[in-house]
Amino acid sequence: MYSLDITLEAVLNGLLTGAVYALIALGLTLVYGVLHIINFAHGALLTTAMFAVWVAYTFLGIDNYVLIPFLAVIFYALGYALQRFVIGPASHGDDGNILLVTLGISIVLENALLAIFRSDTRSLTSDFSFEVLEVGPLLISKPRLIGFAAALVVTLLLWLVLARTDTGKAIRAVAKEKLGASLVGIDVRHIYAVTFGIGCATLAVAACLLMPTFYVNPRVGGAFVLVAFTVVVLGGMGSIPGALAGGLFIGVVESLSGLYLGESLGQIGIFLIFILVLLFRPTGLFGARA
């Protein structure tokens, strides 16, 4: 058994990481909830965004936090174009095709990154990565604290957009009733692309928040996406509050099982939960609400 302080610190660290997991899961769950597809390119797009952060920081000297709005806009446009001009037209409305198209995109992206950057692992060389905040006996990593706060803000923003704006309402309408949406003049293909764009923009933000304390190589996205899938299943496919709660929960589980089972077994706790949820609560712990 560990002391209370150490356990508390592990829980805290888990929450900090979990918020960024939630952010990564957000795009996945939103795209699933609206387009009813599982985006297999999610991980490769995250990797691409992380390399973009690294390149901007290393060669252009752009701070990763300053980069957030710019990269978000670029990735929104990229996601919009991908859905509108590649995934949509190539799939002919067939879900099986969409799956293959997103898988194809992920292979293309990964190999392009491999060709450009080799399989080396890179990280930002910044002193800020190691700065900590002392709260009583606890040491809290500053970049992870910022990541936590920013991830919560982005989740809240997205929730507000979906709840309050016409575009957000159109997204929710298309998710449940395509024909009804068309008949009030909603351009369903446009809304699909907007949704995919938002999913990519949240990945861009996540990449900016992750990079100070993480590394990037052409395959890194896969590890995050496995966790994000667990979060999505746990929170209920298509549910945004579910993704947030699921992300925080998974972060804590990973951190605690890492503490008690050892760093290399930390992710076992996650997959145990994944399997248990699939067996006993396939609709997710928090029910499904889009």
Partner 1 sequence: MLEIKGLRAGYGGVEVLRGIDLSIKSGEIVAVLGSNGVGKTTLNKVLSGVLPASAGEIVFEGRSLTRASAVDAVEAGLIHVPEGRKIFPNMSVRENLELGSYRRASKNRASNLERVFNIFPRLRERTDQAAGTLSGGEQQMLAIGRGMMAEPRLLILDEPSLGLSPLLVEEMFTLIQSLNAEGLPIMLVEQNVVQSLETASRAYIVENGAVTLSGPAETIRNDPELKRAYLGL
93 makes contact with partner 1 (CB under 8 A): no
Cα separation values, 207 from 191, 233, 237, 275, Å: 24, 22, 23, 27
- The CB-side HSE value for 91 (13 A sphere, CA atoms) comes to 25
Among residues 215, 213, 206, 53, which one has the least CA distance to residue 129?
Answer: 213
Segment holding 235, helix H or strand E: helix 220-235
- Give the alpha-carbon dihedral of 159, 165, 171, 174, to 10 degrees: 130
- Tell the smallest beta-carbon distance from residue 287 to partner 1 (Å): 12
- Tell the smallest beta-carbon distance from residue 181 to partner 1 (Å): 8
Q: In terms of CB distance, is 129 or 167 closer to partner 1?
A: 167
- Tell the smallest beta-carbon distance from residue 178 to partner 1 (Å): 9
- 129 secondary structure, DSSP code: G
Q: Give the one residue of 5, 95, 131, 177 binding partner 1; rule: CB under 8 A.
A: 177
Q: In terms of CB distance, is 137 or 180 closer to partner 1?
A: 180
For tokens 């190999």, the residue is 111
84 makes contact with partner 1 (CB under 8 A): no
Residues 6+ apart with CB under 8 A from 72: 201, 202, 204, 205
170 makes contact with partner 1 (CB under 8 A): yes
> Using CB under 8 A, which residues numbered 181 to 200 contact partner 1?
181-187
176 makes contact with partner 1 (CB under 8 A): yes
Cα separation values, 121 from 17, 118, 210, 218, Å: 20, 9, 14, 8
Q: In terms of CB distance, is 68 or 171 closer to partner 1?
A: 171
Q: Give the one residue of 172, 219, 222, 260 binding partner 1; rule: CB under 8 A.
A: 172
Tell me the per-residue interface mask from 64 to 83 with partner 1, x by CB under 8 A, - otherwise: --------------------
Q: In terms of CB distance, is 82 or 173 closer to partner 1?
A: 173
179 makes contact with partner 1 (CB under 8 A): yes
36 makes contact with partner 1 (CB under 8 A): no
60 makes contact with partner 1 (CB under 8 A): no
Gap between the Cα atoms of 113 and 192, Å rounded: 27
Q: In terms of CB distance, is 10 or 181 closer to partner 1?
A: 181
CA 32 to chain CA centroid, nearest Å: 13
For tokens 């499904």, the residue is 288
Q: Give the one residue of 53, 175, 216, 234 binding partner 1; rule: CB under 8 A.
A: 175
Q: Give the one residue of 96, 166, 263, 279 binding partner 1; rule: CB under 8 A.
A: 166
- The CB-side HSE value for 28 (13 A sphere, CA atoms) comes to 35
- Tell the smallest beta-carbon distance from residue 166 to partner 1 (Å): 6
Among residues 9, 18, 8, which one has the least CA distance to residue 209?
Answer: 18
SS3 (DSSP) at 135: strand
Residues near partner 1, by CB under 8 A: 166, 169-170, 172-173, 175-177, 179-187, 289-290
